Amino acid sequence: MTRLARRTSLLVAFYLLTSAATAYAECAWAMWSFHWVEDSGFEMYDVDLAYPTRQECQGELSTKATIMKQSGHSVKGGFPGSGEVISQKGKDHWRYFCLPDTVDPRGPKGK
């Protein structure tokens, strides 16, 4: 009887893990931008674009890096697997990154 209970609990755990991973993989992804200006106190988050998959969102980061470089920005990241683009031009700084559409980098909202 103990073997059956162990096997059942393992199957249930496996089912829960695979269903959670599948749900996470199927959600939409948003490219966020964070813009701040040195010595000014100015900071702003914004959703730049939305994509159906993580791969599409992260693929677009390299395009964003190329555009920023062509505009005279100093750029870090933006290559496949980097997960973000950070750029600077003068006192202006930008960070672009992808998150599931259910995640807000600004943190929880108060009531």
Residue 82 pLDDT class (50, 70, 90 cuts): confident
Longest CA–CA span in the chain (Å) reads 70
Asked, for residue 92, whether it belongs to a domain, the answer is: yes
Size of the chain, expressed as the number of residues it contains: 111
The DSSP code for 53 is S
- H/E stretch holding 8 reads helix 2-26
Over residues 1-18, the pLDDT tens digits come to: 454 444 444 333 444 344
What confidence score (pLDDT) does residue 17 get? Answer: 40
Residue 25 pLDDT class (50, 70, 90 cuts): low
Domain residue limits at 73: 27-100
Asked, for residue 15, whether it belongs to a domain, the answer is: no
State yes or no: pLDDT of 56 exceeds 60.
yes
What confidence score (pLDDT) does residue 89 get? Answer: 97
Asked, for residue 22, whether it belongs to a domain, the answer is: no
φ/ψ of 9, rounded to 5, equals -65, -35
Asked, for residue 46, whether it belongs to a domain, the answer is: yes
Asked, for residue 67, whether it belongs to a domain, the answer is: yes
Q: Higher model confidence: residue 104 or residue 110?
A: 104
Q: Higher model confidence: residue 10 or residue 87?
A: 87
Q: How many domains does the chain have?
A: 1
Residue 60 pLDDT class (50, 70, 90 cuts): very high
Asked, for residue 56, whether it belongs to a domain, the answer is: yes
Residue 39 pLDDT class (50, 70, 90 cuts): very high
Candidates 32, 30, 79; CA nearest to 56 is 30
Asked, for residue 107, whether it belongs to a domain, the answer is: no
Candidates 78, 29, 73; CA nearest to 49 is 29
Asked, for residue 32, whether it belongs to a domain, the answer is: yes
- H/E stretch holding 33 reads strand 29-37
| 49 contacts: CB under 8 Å, gap ≥ 6 | 30, 31, 57, 60
